[in-house]
Amino acid sequence: MSMKIRFEGGDKMEVELGQIPRESENAGIEIQKKCAKIIKNAVEKRLRSISQKSAHANSKKRRRVHMADDVRTMTKKDKYGDIIVKVQGGKQTGTLWHIVNDGTYRSRATHFMDGALADCEAAVESAVDEELRKVFG
């Protein structure tokens, strides 16, 4: 199979193609920031919906910060140089996330992480589409 392509104004085409990687990387960073905010809000909402309403929930002997108030986003580079955005618990409640999400033999699982991701799936897709439309649209 052979194909002939004719270029007119090749210098202009080369310049436009040369900008695509940089614009794509910038769009990716913006998408990560927007998605991190969306997911953080969804996780906080889920955690608030499963909060305990008992007398023990307000006890000062128990933890001082509710998990919904201790959600953090963190941006870092992995060993391959890719930027990773994490939505996770903060210092005071981060170690409890797996217990609340998965449950124990004494407490039932809430699966708030899966629920939060399902809740924000459409918003994340729309944020990705919007940002890519700005770059390539």
Tens digit of each residue's pLDDT (9 = 90 or more) over 19-74: 778 888 889 899 999 999 999 999 999 999 987 654 455 555 655 788 999 999 99
Task: At 41, list the tokens.
Answer: 């809000």
Q: At what angle do helices 10-49 and 112-119 cross, to 10 degrees?
A: 130
Q: Which residue has the higher pLDDT, 119 or 20?
A: 119
CA distance 18 to 49: 48
Instruction: Write the single-letter amino acid at 11.
Output: D
| CA dihedral sign, ordered 85, 86, 91, 93 | positive
For strand 71-77 and strand 83-89, is the pairing parallel, antiparallel, or unpaired? antiparallel
